[in-house]
Amino acid sequence: MAKKSQCDKCTGLCCRYFALPIDTPEDRGDYDDIRWYLCHKDITIFVEDGDWYINIKNKCKHLSEKDYRCRIYDKRSRICRGYRHADCDFVEGEYDFELHFTDDKQMEEYIKIKFDNNITEKPKAKKKKIAIKTLSHKDTKVQRKYEIVKK
């Protein structure tokens, strides 16, 4: 388990985004819907262990930019209380996503490759350092990510 001092060296990465599971796209229309998500600022899509997620890069309003601490620590939500820093991005380093889309053009190209050229081979995933904080009360694997205690 990471030491609390890890958080002291960090600018609160885990409080600057959240990710939600989304339905696995099946047809061209589904992929096009995801392309629309990616038209929006600060949205990325990633696939991990076959599951698709939308990542919203949006800082929690309670994170202090002066000392990077939680301003409502005693009243923070269940999600924050259950977050253990042992597996957090700052401690664990890079994630190796199966797929990672950072803008709509990437998805446009992917759709062309997948549906127009009838190519089934998956594009190589890029290693990308990005914090993952996901929310699902149904998926135990996702729940595990929430077992990280913030500070």
Binding residues (CB under 6 A) for ligand SF4: these are: 6-7, 10, 12-15, 60, 62-63, 70, 72, 76, 80, 85, 88-91, 150-151
Q: Residue 86 or residue 119: which is nearer to ligand SF4 going by CB?
A: 86
Strand 43-48 relative to strand 99-101, pairing: antiparallel
Residue 54 makes CB contacts below 8 A (sequence gap 6+) with: 19, 20, 22, 37, 43, 44, 45
Residue 28 makes CB contacts below 8 A (sequence gap 6+) with: 111, 115
Minimal distance, residue 12 CB to ligand SF4, in Å = 5
Minimal distance, residue 148 CB to ligand SF4, in Å = 6
Q: Residue 14 or residue 34: which is nearer to ligand SF4 going by CB?
A: 14
Minimal distance, residue 125 CB to ligand SF4, in Å = 22
Q: Residue 7 or residue 38: which is nearer to ligand SF4 going by CB?
A: 7
Minimal distance, residue 137 CB to ligand SF4, in Å = 17
Q: Residue 73 or residue 115: which is nearer to ligand SF4 going by CB?
A: 73
Contact (Cβ atoms closer than 8 angstroms) between residue 57 and residue 123: no
Tokens found for residue 111? 């759709």
